[in-house]
Amino acid sequence: MKPSLLKIHTLVLLQKDLAKAVEFYELLGGYCAFYQENVWAEFELEQVKLALCPTDQILDRYSGLVFYIADFQTVSESLLKAGYLLSAPTETINGAVVMVTDPGGNKIELISGKDGQSCSTERRCCSA
């Protein structure tokens, strides 16, 4: 039987202040393809949509999202200038990684790897 679950279409992050969250993801270099004030926003990330949804509930949480950033230095400086706190960079086999919390309390990772892949060519990610 052919698998029905084919790909991720949309990732949704809850946000207390939708306008501020849109500004944050634009600082990361995202393109806001759709924005309806206090209702919904969508960013196009190649084959996946990142949607921002307003909520009254705020949680301090790790989202599990990792974004490859092509211009890591510029984005990091823009975030710091805008008042966001970044963790100290951690060097991994794939590049530098920093943590940042978006306006909705979602903790995300930014990675500066050469090609944005999560696994190096020197090791396998999953067992066959």
CATH code, domain with 96: 3.10.180.10
> 67 lies in a domain?
yes
CA–CA distance, 37 with 18 (Å, rounded to integer)? 7
> 119 lies in a domain?
no
> 121 lies in a domain?
no
> 116 lies in a domain?
no
> 117 lies in a domain?
no
| Interval 34-73: pLDDT, tens | 999 999 999 998 888 999 999 887 667 777 788 888 888 8
Beta strands in the chain (DSSP E): 10-15, 32-36, 40-45, 48-54, 61-68, 90-92, 95-101, 106-111
> 2 lies in a domain?
no
> 70 lies in a domain?
yes
Range of the domain at 23: 10-111
Low-confidence winner among 6-10, 102-106, 119-123 (lowest mean pLDDT): 119-123
The pLDDT score that the predictor gives to residue 119 is 39
> 16 lies in a domain?
yes
Sorting pLDDT into bands at 50, 70 and 90, what band is 113?
Answer: low
The mean pLDDT of 60-89, rounded to a whole number, is 89
